[in-house]
Structure formats: structure tokens, C-alpha cells
């Protein structure tokens, strides 16, 4: 996932970055966070090339608020997949945002409470349903594994080992339950203890 934080003050960037890290800690997927200052906004064409999934606009500063919101409209036109969150310390600016159609608005004092729910609202379904993925819960994390990277499953001693091209994951799911969740065109149970790709 590619995320861009636009025109945030240093303490806000740190807080937002911490919340994003907390959200992705539950998922075994990569993400990158870029920062963009108001004075160095890129053209919508360059934005499209950056392929951002999420843009977080700090519209607290009344001097640049309208320009940032107009910029978000240009981003929306050139890159419709980018989700947009407006944040502001000025709660009254929430009245100004309706014409700009952000995906979410967060009042800055509530960032620690609302950022996780905003991210969950905007991305949980997409994360879980991106391509053909298998979602596995282990003691340490939630793993989202593209099915094409799974080599085989081996069940032994009440555990199942998932062998992927780049890693191995141990979970406590039965092979029968896993087989129901997998694409039957890709996987076959060739033995009572093995499913292979």
C-alpha cells in the first residue's frame, strides 16, 4: 500500500504515521508512507504514477485549505482509486468539505481514536479480497497470502504448515477448512496430510 501525507506539521505526521503502523501491524503486507509539503505538490499525472492508495490531507491551515481541497479534486479525477482523508484541528471546516467528497474526515484531537477506524473502513475489505488471497490468523499476526505463492500445506500434530515461495507459516487450521477457502482450480488434496498447488 502506498500512502501520502500532505502538508502536515511534524507532530501530526508522527501521530498519523504511528496510527498507520498500528493498523498494518495486524496484516502481513507492505506499505510505504510519503510526505508532501504544500509548496511541492506534484501534478495529478505524477500523482497517478506514484500509485497512492491513500492520501491524508491536513486542511487545518485556513490559508491553504481551499487550495488543498481543490488539489484533492484533481487527484480524485486523475486517480480514482486513491482514497482521501481530510484531517483538521478546526472542526468547523468539516462544513466546507462536502463539495470535495473526501472518503473520511477526522478532527485532529480524535486522530488516535478515529484513524484506525477510518483505515479499517477504507481498506479492510480490499486487503482481504485483493486477488485470490488466503487470510490466516496466527498467534502473532494476520497473514494475507496470495494463493499463487503457496506451494503446499502440510498437516501434522494439530497444526498446519503453509509453505510459500518466500516463507513458511504455522497455523492451527484443519486442512478441510483451508481447502474450502482455496480456489479449487489451483489446489488439490493429494494425501490426508497434504494440499498442493
Please work out, in degrees rounded to the nearest 5, the angle formed at the alpha carbon of residue 151 by the alpha carbons of 146 and 152.
110
Q: Say what the pLDDT of residue 161 is.
A: 94
Cα 111 vs. chain centroid, distance in angstroms?
17
CB 22 within 8 A of CB 118: no
**Taking every pair of C-alpha atoms in the chain, what is the biggest distance, in angstroms?**
67
Question: Which residues, 6 or more positions from 44, have their beta carbon under 8 angstroms from its beta carbon?
Answer: 74, 75, 77, 78, 79
Cα 178 vs. chain centroid, distance in angstroms?
24
Q: Say what the pLDDT of residue 122 is.
A: 85
Q: Say what the pLDDT of residue 74 is.
A: 92
Phi/psi of residue 33, nearest 5 degrees: -120, 125
Between the two ends of the chain, the Cα-to-Cα distance in Å is 27
Pairwise CA distance, residues 146 & 127, whole Å:
11
Residue-wise pLDDT tens digits, 168-183: 999 988 999 999 888 8
Pairwise CA distance, residues 60 & 86, whole Å:
9
User: Three-class SS string for the chain?
Assistant: CEEEEECCCHHHHHHHHHHHHHHHCCECCCCEEEEECHHHCCCHHHHHHHCCCEEEEECCCCCCHHHHHHHHHHHHHHCCCCEEEEEECCHHHHHHCHHHCCCEEEEHHHHHHHHHHHHHHHHHHHHHCCCCEEEEECCCCEEEEEHHHEEEEEEECCEEEEEECCCEEEECCCHHHHHHHCCCCCCEEEECCEEEC
Residue-wise pLDDT tens digits, 46-65: 888 888 999 999 999 999 99
pLDDT tens for the chain, 197 residues: list them.
Answer: 899 999 877 778 888 999 999 888 877 677 899 999 888 888 888 888 888 999 999 999 999 999 999 999 999 998 988 999 999 999 988 888 988 989 999 999 999 889 988 988 888 766 655 557 888 888 878 888 888 889 999 998 889 999 999 899 999 889 999 998 888 888 999 999 999 99
Amino acid at each position: 500500500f502506498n500512502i501520502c501525507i500532505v502538508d502536515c506539521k511534524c507532530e501530526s505526521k508522527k501521530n498519523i504515521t504511528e496510527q498507520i503502523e498500528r493498523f498494518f501491524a495486524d496484516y502481513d503486507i507492505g506499505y510505504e508512507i510519503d510526505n508532501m509539503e504544500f509548496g511541492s505538490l506534484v501534478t495529478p499525472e505524477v500523482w497517478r504514477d506514484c500509485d497512492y492508495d491513500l492520501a491524508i490531507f491536513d486542511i487545518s491551515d485556513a490559508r491553504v485549505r481551499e487550495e488543498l481541497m481543490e488539489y484533492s479534486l484533481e487527484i480524485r479525477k486523475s486517480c480514482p482509486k486513491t482514497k482521501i482523508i481530510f484531517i483538521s484541528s478546526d472542526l468547523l471546516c468539516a462544513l466546507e468539505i462536502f463539495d470535495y467528497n473526501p472518503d473520511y474526515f477526522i478532527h485532529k484531537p480524535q486522530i488516535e481514536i478515529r484513524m484506525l477506524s477510518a483505515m479499517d473502513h477504507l481498506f479492510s475489505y480490499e486487503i482481504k479480497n485483493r486477488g485470490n488471497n488466503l487470510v490466516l490468523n496466527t498467534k502473532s499476526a494476520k497473514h494475507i497470502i496470495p494463493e499463487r505463492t503457496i506451494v503446499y500445506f502440510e498437516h501434522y500434530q494439530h497444526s498446519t504448515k503453509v509453505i510459500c515461495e518466500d516463507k513458511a507459516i504455522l497455523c492451527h487450521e484443519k486442512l478441510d477448512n483451508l481447502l474450502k477457502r482455496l480456489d479449487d482450480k489451483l489446489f488439490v488434496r493429494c494425501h490426508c496430510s497434504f494440499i498442493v498447488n
